[in-house]
Amino acid sequence: MPANRNVLAFVMAGGEGARLHPLTANRCKPAVPFNGKHRIVDFVLSNLVNSEIYSTYLLVQYKSQSLIEHVRQTWTMARFMPQHFITVVPPQMRHGPAWFQGTADAVYQNIHLIESMQPDIVAVFGADHIYRMDVRQMIDFHVKSNAHASVATIPVELGECDQFGIVDIDERHRITDFREKPKSTRPMPGSRTHALASMGNYIFNADVLLAQLKRMHESGETDFGKHILPSMVKSHKLVAYDFATNIIDGTEPYEEHAYWRDVGTIDAYYQAHFDTLGAQPKFRMTNRHWPIYASPDQAESAQIENGVINRSVVGSGSIVDGATLDHAMLRRSVLVERGARLEHCIVMERSRIGRGAQVRRAIIDQDNDIPADERIGFDLEQDRRRFPVTASGIVVVPAGAFPARKAASSPIPGTVPGTSRLEEAVSRMEMLA
């Protein structure tokens, strides 16, 4: 990126994530765990850092404490480089006693940050998606197009248009119409089945954005997708950036080209996990050219006593003792006891799956102690009386739904003669937790 192109990024991380409940009962949507050791917010922050965009404000609002702690522990920039930072910004209420009323209002309430930084370009990105993107390529397209604002776009099926901002474009990618979550729309050029949708990632010339934010505030508008972008279509040059043209080094031929998922529902969140599994996944988490950074990991290595494991992830500090894992994802410090079986499951931190327990097509949130011989995912009517179950049959066990049992192992490994390797490992895991 040219040295004279000064870019400031705002990441919209205030999402309540109501459709991800109960995973968002005590955390905001960007803080929801993903895969073995990441959180959803790590994807956008990794994309910005890998794109050499080092000045980022993370705008938070709902149940943000776990997100704030994650950013504090994971995303610390060098103190001797003042323009390199990722800073969490809660509502400051500088313009009245109000929370953020929308995406544009969130940036307007922090307009002083733009005025003090004086960037050339402002990137406004969402924090809720799983993808890799070189933001420099979008900025280059924006500059070459002489655009005032650019919108990253992907094709979506017509039946999903009510979930996205939908754009119409001309032959030069100029946006001629922008409609936020329309009930129906016409197909994009060259397709009968898909429309062109906004990814919620925008590039603005800073002076244009400042003027639009001030105009918006005076007129009582609050949102980029509902208000600012539709109103700019006739008065400014808006262009659509084709995400399919974004090239990431290290992407394997078998991966889905231009992979991007909005994990705003339990079903989408669940499926995205399994898109990362296998020898040839749709989305490979490991790419040394474009890493997705995660929080520092102080837990011990995973321990497999024995068992049968097929296409699964076993997080650090986890123990598998004579169990069967089939398309299972274990995050940190998970214990799966003898005879248990996990099939197409996601199990989060500090959970225990008891002896003989059978769990399939389920998400087990953190700090759960599933009893011995428990069955989850086999009788959905019974499950619905206890837990949320999606229409497709995914069972979600909320955090702490099964309180922890008293550990049977020695509290200090090695102090009791005859303590098994498994008991020692359990004790180490419990002390780390």
Domain boundaries, the chain: 7-262, 303-432
pLDDT, position 236: 97
> Was 316 annotated as part of a binding site?
no
- The three-state DSSP-derived secondary structure of 124-156 is EEECCEEECCCHHHHHHHHHHCCCCEEEEEEEE
With contact defined as beta carbons under 8 Å apart, do 194 and 154 qualify?
no
Upstream peptide bond of 22 is cis (omega within 30 degrees of 0)? yes
pLDDT, position 418: 36
Q: How many CB atoms lie within 10 A of CB 377?
A: 21
pLDDT, position 16: 79
* Structure tokens that stand for 112 in this block: 């002083």
Q: How distant, in Å, are the alpha carbons of 293, 296, 329 from that of 37?
A: 9, 9, 10
Query: Shortest CA distance to 251 belongs to which of 294, 276, 292, 283?
Result: 283
pLDDT, position 105: 87
> Was 165 annotated as part of a binding site?
yes
User: SS3 of 226, please?
Assistant: helix
Non-local (6+) Cβ contacts of 293 within 8 A are 42, 45, 46, 49, 74, 75
Helix axes 65-74, 41-50, angle to 10 degrees: 30
- The fold of 303-432 is UDP N-Acetylglucosamine Acyltransferase; domain 1 (2.160.10)
Non-local (6+) Cβ contacts of 219 within 8 A are none
pLDDT, position 409: 43
337 secondary structure, DSSP code: -
pLDDT, position 93: 61
For the chain, which ranges sit under pLDDT 50?
A: 1-3, 408-423, 426-433
**Which helix (H) or strand (E) segment is 103 a member of?**
helix 103-108
Non-local (6+) Cβ contacts of 237 within 8 A are 145, 146, 147, 148, 149, 174
* Structure tokens that stand for 6 in this block: 């000064």
With contact defined as beta carbons under 8 Å apart, do 28 and 127 qualify?
no
Question: Phi, psi at residue 390, to the nearest 5°?
Answer: -75, 170
pLDDT, position 78: 64
pLDDT, position 82: 66
Answer yes or no: same fold for 7-262 and 303-432. Answer: no
pLDDT, position 166: 96
pLDDT, position 96: 55
pLDDT, position 121: 98
Beta-bridge partners for 103: none
pLDDT tens digits for range 29-42: 999 999 989 999 99
Burial class (CB in 10 A: 0-12, 13-18, 19+), 153: buried
> Was 180 annotated as part of a binding site?
yes
Q: Which residue has the tokens 């979506």?
A: 156
CA distance from start to end of the chain: 42
User: SS3 of 71, please?
Assistant: helix
In this structure, the strands spanning 121-126 and 7-12 are parallel
pLDDT, position 201: 97
Q: Please tell us whether the domain made up of 7-262 is placed in CATH 3.90.550.10.
A: yes
pLDDT, position 98: 62
pLDDT, position 17: 82
